[in-house]
């Protein structure tokens, strides 16, 4: 039989693919899911059972949470990446790592085909196909939902005719959960003016009273929460558990899709938003203004390329090397307060805090220069403006 690896999530589209490809197209289907922080052990077990029941020969769950952090999330933090100054790339960043793990699994099995359940109207088809084509151009990509332009109702009808009658009622809101945030889609996000209701978000407000919190960074990575040390993944998960009870990190992102249409998606990302903002504040104290300027340019560019599936372009490794080098002195504590629906950054403490220099205090007494030094500096600094004004006023 033709050996095929199917990117399988357990949802309607990939369930259709598992049944259709094994039964109608005579593929030997090897289902695989990649956990980047969104699946519990119970959910993985349920997905496993469904995959085999639908005709898959094997099912494999790949734990890629740490890989996701090391290959992607770490650099999103280093670069303070927020797409359109809003979105921490919660889902789009995951897809890259998932695609890489899937194609590596296909190579390991010696499969000549890879399938996924993406439609022809979204970003994921581009991300998956680009990774597959670059890493394994010899493997053929199979996409039944996209190729046959299948509607949800057609998929359900096919599965029911073939004895598969899971409860496929469409949830009012589509939730995609991962280490770096949760996306929320619904009827409201298909409009340009309607907000998502409070009930659409998975995390509801549980804490009414404010809480003081300390985040500790070492060379740009989160190494402790409130003095309790852990690896970065553990710290992200711990912070998410704490902050999500305050319903922090909710917003709606509006952006340009890879295929050229505008899109809207809700999300909640308490830990990512707090970490990025806290990290950015620490950088303001520990980096020069030109380091910060160049980081902003390259961080935004990195996020754009990642969002559009260009993760394997060598320029991404170049940017990662630059971002890593900028983090040498980004070490210290950030103090913040959590409140219902919001958080406040209160300050930092760092041995590399450039405000601690003895040259002077802003708006106060200078110690590193004289009044005459300041006058001469300002006179020279104004020269370009003086020249331009002199030349142009005589025209």
User: In whole angstroms, what is the distance from residue 181 CA to residue 249 CA?
Assistant: 9
In angstroms, what CA-CA distances link 275 with 92, 174, 180, 270, 284? 18, 25, 11, 9, 14
Structure-token pair, residue 289:
């203004």
In angstroms, what CA-CA distances link 225 with 65, 66, 221? 19, 18, 12
In angstroms, what CA-CA distances link 123 with 72, 243, 257, 259, 286? 18, 29, 6, 7, 37
The residue among 143, 178, 151, 242 whose CA lies nearest residue 36 is: 178
Q: What is the pLDDT of residue 378?
A: 94
Average pLDDT score over residue span 343-355: 96
Q: CB-based contacts of 354: which residues, under 8 Å, 6+ apart?
A: 285, 286, 288
In the CATH hierarchy, which fold is given to the domain comprising 174-287+328-349? 3.90.1260
| 368 exposure class (CB count in 10 Å sphere: 0-12, 13-18, 19+) | exposed
Q: What is the pLDDT of residue 120?
A: 87
Q: Report the percentage of the chain scoring pLDDT > 70.
A: 97
Q: What is the pLDDT of residue 364?
A: 66
User: In whole angstroms, what is the distance from residue 98 CA to residue 34 CA?
Assistant: 6
DSSP assignments along 33-65, one per residue:
EEESS---HHHHHHHHHHHHHTT-SEEEEEE-H
> Rounded to a whole number, what is the distance in angstroms from the first to the last CA of the chain?
82
Structural domain spans, the chain: 2-161, 174-287+328-349, 362-393
DSSP assignments along 155-220, one per residue:
HHHHHHHTT-----PPPSSEEEEETTEEEEE-GGGGSSSPPPPGGGSSS-----S-EEEEEEEETT
Ordered alpha helix ranges (H), the chain: 12-23, 41-53, 65-68, 74-78, 90-109, 124-135, 144-148, 152-161, 232-244, 270-286, 289-307, 314-325, 371-381, 383-393
Average pLDDT of the chain? 94
In angstroms, what CA-CA distances link 60 with 2, 53, 56, 77, 102? 18, 14, 11, 30, 10
pLDDT tens per residue, range 38-60: 888 999 999 999 999 999 999 99
The residues with which 27 forms a beta bridge, in sequence order, are: 2
User: In whole angstroms, what is the distance from residue 367 CA to residue 358 CA?
Assistant: 7
Q: What is the pLDDT of residue 121?
A: 81
pLDDT tens per residue, range 52-98: 999 999 999 999 999 999 999 999 999 999 999 999 999 889 999 99
The yes-or-no verdict on residue 315 having pLDDT over 90 is yes
> Would you say domain 2-161 falls under CATH 3.30.70.60?
no
**Between residues 168 and 276, which one has the greater pLDDT?**
276
Structure-token pair, residue 210:
């404010």
User: Sorting pLDDT into bands at 50, 70 and 90, what band is 172?
Assistant: confident
User: In whole angstroms, what is the distance from residue 314 CA to residue 310 CA?
Assistant: 9
Tell me which residue has tokens 């200078």: 366
Structure-token pair, residue 108:
């390991």
Q: Report the percentage of the chain scoring pLDDT > 90.
A: 84
Q: Please, are residues 19 and 143 in contact by the beta-carbon 8 Å criterion?
A: no
Q: Please, are residues 131 and 103 in contact by the beta-carbon 8 Å criterion?
A: yes
């Amino acid at each position: 039989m033709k050996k095929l690896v199917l990117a399988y999530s357990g949802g309607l589209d990939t369930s259709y693919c598992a049944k259709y490809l094994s039964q109608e197209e005579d593929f030997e289907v090897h289902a695989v899911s990649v956990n980047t922080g969104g699946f519990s052990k119970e959910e993985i077990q349920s997905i496993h059972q469904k995959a085999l029941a639908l005709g898959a020969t094997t099912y494999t769950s790949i734990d890629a949470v740490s890989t996701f952090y090391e290959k992607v999330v770490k650099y999103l933090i280093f670069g303070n990446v927020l797409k359109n100054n809003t979105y921490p790339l919660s889902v789009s960043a995951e897809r890259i790592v998932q695609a890489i793990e899937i194609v590596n699994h296909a190579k390991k099995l010696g499969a000549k085909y890879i399938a996924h359940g993406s439609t022809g109207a979204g970003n994921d088809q581009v991300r998956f196909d680009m990774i597959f084509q670059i890493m394994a151009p010899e493997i053929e990509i199979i996409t039944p939902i996209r190729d046959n332009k299948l509607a949800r109702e057609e998929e359900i009808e096919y599965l029911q005719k073939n004895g598969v009658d899971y409860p496929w009622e469409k949830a009012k809101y589509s939730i995609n959960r991962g280490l770096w945030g949760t996306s929320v889609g619904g009827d409201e996000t298909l409009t340009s003016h309607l907000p998502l209701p409070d009930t659409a978000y998975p995390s509801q407000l549980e804490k009414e009273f404010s809480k003081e919190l300390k985040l500790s960074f070492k060379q740009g990575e989160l190494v402790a929460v409130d003095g309790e040390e852990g690896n970065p993944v553990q710290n992200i998960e711990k912070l998410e558990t704490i902050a999500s009870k305050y319903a922090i990190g909710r917003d709606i992102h509006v952006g340009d899709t890879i295929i050229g249409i505008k899109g809207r998606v809700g999300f909640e990302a308490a830990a990512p938003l707090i970490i990025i903002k806290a990290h950015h504040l620490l950088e303001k104290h520990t980096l020069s203004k030109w380091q910060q300027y160049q980081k902003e340019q390259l961080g935004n560019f990195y996020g754009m390329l990642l969002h559009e599936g260009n993760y394997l372009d060598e320029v991404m490794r170049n940017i990662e090397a630059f971002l890593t080098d900028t983090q040498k002195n980004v070490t210290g504590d950030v103090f913040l307060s959590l409140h219902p629906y919001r958080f406040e950054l209160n300050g930092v403490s760092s041995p590399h805090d450039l405000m601690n220099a003895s040259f002077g205090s802003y708006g106060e007494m200078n110690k590193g220069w004289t009044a005459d030094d300041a006058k001469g500096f300002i006179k020279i600094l104004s020269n370009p403006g003086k020249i331009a004004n002199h030349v142009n006023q005589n025209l």
